[in-house]
Amino acid sequence: MTAHNREKYIGFAIKSVLASTYSNFELIILDDASTDETVNIVKKYAAKDSRIQLFINEENLGDYPNRNKAASLAKGKYLKYVDSDDYIYPYGLEIMVNSMERFPGAGFGLCSLKPDAEKPFPFLLNPKEAYEYHFFGPGLFHKGPLTSIFVKSAFDKMKGFKPSRMTSDTDMWYRMGLQYQVVLMQSGLVWQRIHAEQELAESQVYIVEREKIKWKYLLVAKCPLVNEQIKQIRNQRIQRYTRFILSGIRHFNFKQAGAYLKCLLFTVRIKI
């Protein structure tokens, strides 16, 4: 659990973890140089439960560098993020751990997914299946850290998250998806709070950056998809972004139209 000035919410997040039916965990809380009462609140909980370990950064590292540092302090087999303004249901951790244990060849898992039409969760996808599930199925690589669980050795081998703001999770799923099998899990295990103090992940600049990340991994030599599939993805994206541009113009949302125009131009120039 990483934290920066989350005095309003962190107690709620901590209590959700401590209420887990799966009890064999360490709760590492890494405060990123908060200036409010966040640290004092954590200390009160840590005094009552030895599973809580508090660490404090002298200088602010930022979101994803702080996530990586927190992971480096962990000793367990799995890494599970619960942000300091979010919540995990009492059964969430137990289901996620048990799901990973069913598939020892996996490197990570993702939850909060739409129900699959053909089989119940959890199930395993290899890299090719994962990429096809994302681009030709319900979607997969659009989740946030709250919905993930990692095998720590796999996370360490990938050297953690990239430092980019708001897009490092997207980059991680594409990278992990190239190297490891992924376990897909149901919704209802975690809850993400939406509040005014958050930076919106759908900001126009991040839409464009995610498009660049997507093509970065679609065009690498290790991409499990064949050229015809990649061409199909490009054509689908061109049609999709054209619709979004027209919708933005029609609703006088010119920032949206401009962002998707950049995505469209970037995609059109892709050589396959």
pLDDT of residue 203: 67
CA 133, CA 88: separation in Å to the nearest integer? 26
The pLDDT tens digits of the residues spanning 189-233 come to: 999 998 888 765 556 778 999 999 999 999 999 999 999 999 999
- Are 109 and 100 in contact, with CB atoms under 8 Å apart? yes
Kindly give the confidence (pLDDT) of every residue in the chain, 272 residues in length, as a single tens digit, with 9 standing for 90 and above. 999 999 999 999 999 999 999 999 999 999 999 999 999 999 999 999 999 999 999 999 999 999 999 999 999 999 999 999 999 999 999 999 999 999 999 999 999 999 999 999 999 999 999 999 999 999 999 999 999 999 999 999 999 999 988 899 999 999 999 999 999 999 999 999 988 887 655 567 789 999 999 999 999 999 999 999 999 999 999 999 999 999 999 999 999 999 999 999 999 999 98
In this structure, the strands spanning 148-151 and 106-110 are antiparallel
Contact 210, 167 (CB under 8 A): yes
Q: Domain spanning 2-191: which CATH class is it, in words?
A: alpha beta
pLDDT tens, residue by residue, 38-51: 999 999 999 999 99
Three-state DSSP at 181 gives strand
- What are the sequence ranges of the domains in the chain? 2-191, 204-268
Rounded CA-CA distance 92/98 in Å is 10
Q: What are phi and psi of 149, to 5 degrees?
A: -145, 140
